[in-house]
């Protein structure tokens, strides 16, 4: 990773972390998008995204739980299905072309989700509301998302939140309270399972970590106070669409 890369990544990762944490996500798909645009090697992209995801998801979980938007009853079915499959996905070694296709598909879905989040009309919600998570469907969804998150180097939150919201199982902020610890667990398992990839973590990781933590502090503050991020999410969805096309065409 060159100095030029770092000078681009620091503000970009700050912005991405701010955007994603405002809705309870950790930003892996956004980090992947920017690294793809800079042509950073895939063997560096995945572990870097996972490491930053762990840090940001832990902070986001702390903020959303502190605001009363966390329920263990709503979380554990998803984790039961996802954690073993995230470990499996993280241990698999993919060819460069296969990785680009999977990551590109993940980013394309992320683009769709963020575009939808940008233009949806959020319902009224408060911390006293309860998430209504059916156990068996949640376990099945968690398993599928866990495998995909381990393979692509994302925490899976970008796939989980639209399912929860579209199914009407929880409101946006309660969904964030489920999504952040879900991302944390899956990212940790995927990184642990892929121990051989740790050597590919860039030496600039501490600087990137500071950037995403600053972004997370800003994003969670905005998100928990109901400040609209509609226009920012729309802009980020465009970035993801471009990066997704670049990855798929490169493969």
Scored b (16 or more CB within 10 A) or e, 176-188 reads: bbbbbbbbbbbbb
Put simply, whether the predicted model's pTM sits higher than 0.85 gets the answer no
Half-sphere exposure of 181 (CA within 13 A, CB side): 22
Could you report the per-residue pLDDT of 53-70, keeping only the tens digit for each? 999 999 999 999 998 888
How many CB atoms within 10 Å of residue 4? Answer: 9
User: pLDDT at residue 184 above 80?
Assistant: yes
Neighbours of 124 (CB within 10 A): 7
pLDDT at 248 over 90: no
Give the pLDDT band (50/70/90) at residue 251. low
How far apart are the C-alpha atoms of 238 and 210, rounded to whole Å? Answer: 25
Residue of 180, 161, 240, 197 whose CA lies nearest to 51? 197
Please state, rounded to an integer, the average pLDDT across all residues of the chain. 83
Rounded to whole angstroms, how far apart are CA atoms 79 and 24?
16
Give the C-alpha separation, 120 to 136, whole Å: 28
**Rounded to whole angstroms, how far apart are CA atoms 242 and 249?**
11
pLDDT tens digits, one per residue of 187-213? 888 777 766 566 678 889 999 999 999
Tell me the mean pLDDT in the region 103-114.
Answer: 80
The percent of residues above 70 in pLDDT, for the chain, comes to 89
């Amino acid at each position: 990773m060159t100095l030029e890369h770092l000078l681009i990544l620091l503000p970009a990762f700050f912005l991405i972390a701010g955007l994603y944490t405002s809705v309870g996500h950790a930003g892996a798909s956004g980090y992947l998008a920017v690294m793809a645009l800079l042509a950073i090697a895939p063997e560096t992209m995945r572990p870097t995204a996972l490491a930053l995801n762990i840090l940001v998801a832990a902070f986001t979980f702390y903020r959303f739980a502190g605001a009363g938007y966390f329920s263990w009853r709503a979380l554990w079915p998803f984790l039961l299905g996802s954690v073993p499959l995230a470990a499996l996905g993280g241990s698999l070694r993919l060819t460069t072309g296969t990785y680009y296709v999977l990551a590109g598909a993940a980013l394309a879905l992320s683009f769709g989700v963020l575009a939808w989040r940008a233009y949806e009309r959020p319902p009224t919600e408060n911390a006293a509301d309860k998430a209504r998570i059916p156990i068996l469907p949640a376990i099945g969804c968690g398993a599928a998302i866990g495998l995909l998150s381990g393979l692509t180097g994302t925490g899976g939150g970008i796939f989980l939140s639209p399912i929860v919201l579209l199914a009407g199982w929880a409101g946006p902020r309660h969904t964030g309270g489920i999504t952040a610890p879900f991302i944390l667990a899956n990212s940790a398992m995927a990184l642990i399972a892929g121990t051989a990839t740790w050597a590919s973590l860039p030496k600039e990781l501490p600087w990137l970590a500071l950037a995403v933590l600053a972004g997370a502090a800003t994003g969670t503050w905005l998100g928990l106070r109901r400040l609209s991020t509609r226009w920012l999410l729309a802009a980020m969805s465009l970035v993801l669409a471009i990066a997704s096309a670049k990855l798929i065409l490169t493969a």
